[in-house]
């Protein structure tokens, strides 16, 4: 690992070849499918690569690697729970039917049109893709506070847009 930290990628390849099989078994024992275990293994190696500078030479390597692997597994579990709690069964939902005046709810693109590109991007990552604030911050190279500020401003602009649409709908009976 010390050679890998120093930039010896032959040492990295050797480390990956040696550690991957037991690490894969670690993920495979707790995951639903082999594909999930493969994805978790890849994610673990990405995190190990990004965090390689934090390893202290002379300290045991396996506990350091498995601590990262446990975090990968927990993050995956939390992501799966977050997704499954937000999913809705399609069988129980009825089709959206226009009201008596014949108007329909505006589509998502129409609602998001007044937002800036960065606000739209952050809002879609959080609400459509289901990412956490930290994940969005990493993906956009912003701080968590900046992401929160963009989302707050996007919500405000959406409220204003929807209020204007409601007013126009009330006057004409149809959304423009």
Q: What is the model's pLDDT at position 148?
A: 94
Q: In the structure, what pLDDT confidence band is assigned to residue 106 with cuts at 50, 70 and 90?
A: low
Mean pLDDT of the 91-116 span: 64
Q: Domains in the chain, please, with CATH?
A: 2-86 (1.10.1740.10), 108-172 (1.10.10.10)
Q: DSSP assignment of 81-142, as one string?
A: HHHHHH---STTPPPP---TT---PPPHHHHHTTS-HHHHHHHIIIIIS---HHHHHHHHT-
Lowest mean pLDDT among 80-84, 99-103, 104-108, 117-121: 99-103
Q: What is the model's pLDDT at position 125?
A: 83
Answer yes or no: is pLDDT of 130 > 70. yes
Cα 116 to chain centroid, rounded? 21
């Amino acid at each position: 690992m010390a050679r890998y930290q120093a930039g010896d990628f032959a040492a990295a390849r050797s480390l990956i070849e040696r550690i991957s099989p037991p690490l894969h078994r670690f993920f495979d024992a707790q995951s639903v499918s082999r594909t999930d275990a493969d994805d978790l293994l890849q994610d673990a190696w990405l995190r190990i690569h990004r965090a390689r500078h934090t390893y202290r030479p002379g300290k045991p390597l396996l506990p350091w690697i498995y601590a990262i692997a446990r975090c990968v597994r927990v993050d995956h579990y939390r992501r799966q729970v977050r997704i499954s709690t937000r999913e809705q069964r399609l069988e129980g939902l009825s089709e959206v039917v226009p009201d008596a005046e014949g108007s329909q709810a505006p589509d998502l693109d129409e609602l998001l049109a007044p937002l800036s590109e960065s606000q739209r991007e952050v809002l879609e990552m959080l609400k459509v893709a289901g990412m956490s604030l930290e994940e969005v911050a990493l993906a956009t190279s912003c701080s968590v506070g900046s992401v929160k500020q963009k989302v707050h401003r996007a919500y405000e602009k959406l409220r204003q847009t929807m209020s204007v649409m409601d007013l126009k709908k009330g006057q004409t009976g149809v959304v423009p």
